[in-house]
């Protein structure tokens, strides 16, 4: 896959790392690759849309409906230019902020009222270089810290699942250390 290890694909990297942590395998199904497990008493389904990133709302909505999950009990994980590399921001609603994947989810759900975790990829690009930067491979310096930052995002997701969004937001919406 052309963009598999790029900044734009950080949501999949988080999903893959979480699956690895729990020794899960993804199975291909309609519009997505899925992995399921239990985290304490909570059933967790990880989906990686197989649609184009900018059409991921179709997959997101399909699986929410199929699994009968309320959107308030879901969380989209996406890259975020406006955050420094490795910093995360959890929100339970909001705008797409220009992120085409979130725009499509909002279109499919007909609302911006769904949780999301934005993973900072920084904005270290020259004028006019945004697309190349977002779709570009991680730098050697970024790669050194990526496992630590992915693990941090997974801890935040686990906190969302087990303790709820308000507690997770107060704990993880801080600057990275």
**pLDDT one-digit tens code per residue, 26-60:** 999 999 999 999 999 999 999 999 987 788 999 99
With bands split at pLDDT 50, 70 and 90, how would you rate the model's confidence at 4?
Answer: low
In the predicted structure, residue 146 carries a pLDDT above the cut 90: yes
- So what's the pLDDT on residue 176? 59
- So what's the pLDDT on residue 175? 63
- So what's the pLDDT on residue 129? 85
Where in the sequence is the domain holding 71, given as residue range(s)? Answer: 7-172
* CATH assignment at residue 98: 3.40.50.1470
| Mean of pLDDT over the chain | 92
Residue 145: inside a domain, yes or no?
A: yes
Residue 141: inside a domain, yes or no?
A: yes
Residue 53: inside a domain, yes or no?
A: yes
Residue 55: inside a domain, yes or no?
A: yes
Residue 27: inside a domain, yes or no?
A: yes
Tokens of 137: 């491979």
For every residue of 64-93, DSSP letters joined together read HHHTT--GGG--EEEEETTS-TT-EEEESS
Residue 23: inside a domain, yes or no?
A: yes
Residues designated as active site: 8
Residue 28: inside a domain, yes or no?
A: yes
Domain count, the chain: 1
In the predicted structure, residue 147 carries a pLDDT above the cut 60: yes
Residue 150: inside a domain, yes or no?
A: yes
138 alpha-carbon distance from chain centroid: 17
Helix ranges (H only) for the chain are 10-21, 56-66, 100-109, 130-134, 140-163, 165-172
79 alpha-carbon distance from chain centroid: 7
Span 149-171, pLDDT tens digits: 999 999 999 999 999 999 999 99
β-bridge pairing 116-120 and 42-49: unpaired
């Amino acid at each position: 896959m052309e963009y598999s290890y790029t900044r734009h694909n950080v949501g999949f990297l988080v999903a893959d790392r979480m699956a690895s942590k729990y020794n899960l395998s993804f199975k291909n199904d309609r519009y997505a690759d899925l992995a399921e497990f239990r985290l304490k008493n909570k059933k967790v389904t990880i989906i990686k849309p197989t649609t184009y990133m900018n059409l991921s709302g179709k997959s997101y909505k399909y699986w929410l409906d199929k699994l009968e999950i309320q959107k308030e009990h879901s969380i989209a994980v996406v890259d975020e230019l406006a955050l420094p590399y490795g910093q995360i921001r959890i929100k339970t609603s909001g705008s797409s902020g220009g992120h085409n994947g979130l725009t499509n989810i909002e279109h499919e759900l007909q609302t911006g009222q769904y949780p999301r975790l934005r993973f900072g990829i920084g904005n270290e690009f020259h004028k006019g270089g945004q697309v190349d930067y977002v779709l570009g491979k991680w730098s050697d310096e970024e790669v050194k810290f990526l496992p630590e930052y992915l693990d941090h995002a997974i801890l935040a997701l686990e906190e969302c699942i087990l303790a709820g969004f308000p507690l997770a937001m107060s704990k993880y919406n801080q600057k990275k250390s």
